[in-house]
């Protein structure tokens, strides 16, 4: 089940915070960021009340930027990332956005293939964007 993470849902916020801190290795004050950033939206994919994946987006006027998408390793290849992408694209259509953008590591082939499946195109390379590893800027036109 996919749902928008509510700022008042302490359990979901903490579960995603743990993923950021332990798995992604990125320190992030998620609740504070969600309170102070009105453009931030977080969708979770849950099964039996456990978060198996999430997608974090910034919805800014007429565009969306995918900030992060993550699925727990043991649940990959079960179409969870695709379900999350479908939700964001549907949200974009409902809100008349013009495009969706994201950055991805050049060596993250599964993610690049996922984005290409949804008609994202490579726009630019960002040299050394990920601690010395190049990033690719990708974009999906919606209009």
| Structural domain boundaries in the chain | 1-97, 98-143
Query: Given pLDDT bands bounded at 50, 70 and 90, which one contains residue 143?
Result: confident
Which residue, 77, 78, 93, 9, is CA-closest to 43? 9
- pTM across the whole model: 0.89
Strand ranges for 1-143 from DSSP E: 2-4, 40-47, 50-60, 63-71, 99-105, 121-130, 133-141
CATH for 1-97? Answer: 3.40.630.30
Write the burial class of residue 123 (CB in 10 Å: 0-12 exposed, 13-18 middle, 19+ buried).
exposed
Name which residue leads in pLDDT, 13 or 134: 134
19-58: pLDDT as tens digits: 777 766 666 777 778 888 889 999 999 999 899 999 999 9
């Amino acid at each position: 089940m996919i749902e928008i993470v509510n700022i008042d849902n302490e359990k979901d916020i903490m579960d995603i915070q743990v993923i950021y801190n332990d798995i992604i290795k990125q320190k992030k004050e998620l609740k504070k960021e969600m309170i102070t950033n009105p453009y931030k939206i977080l969708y979770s994919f849950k099964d039996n009340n456990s978060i198996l994946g999430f997608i974090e987006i910034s919805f800014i006027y007429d565009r969306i930027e995918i900030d992060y998408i993550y699925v727990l390793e043991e649940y990959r290849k079960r179409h969870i990332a695709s379900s999350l992408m479908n939700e964001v694209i549907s949200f974009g259509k409902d809100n008349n956005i013009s495009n969706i953008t994201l950055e991805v590591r050049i060596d993250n082939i599964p993610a690049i293939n996922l984005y290409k499946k949804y008609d994202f195109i490579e726009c630019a390379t960002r040299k050394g964007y990920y601690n010395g590893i190049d990033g690719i800027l990708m974009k999906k036109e919606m209009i």
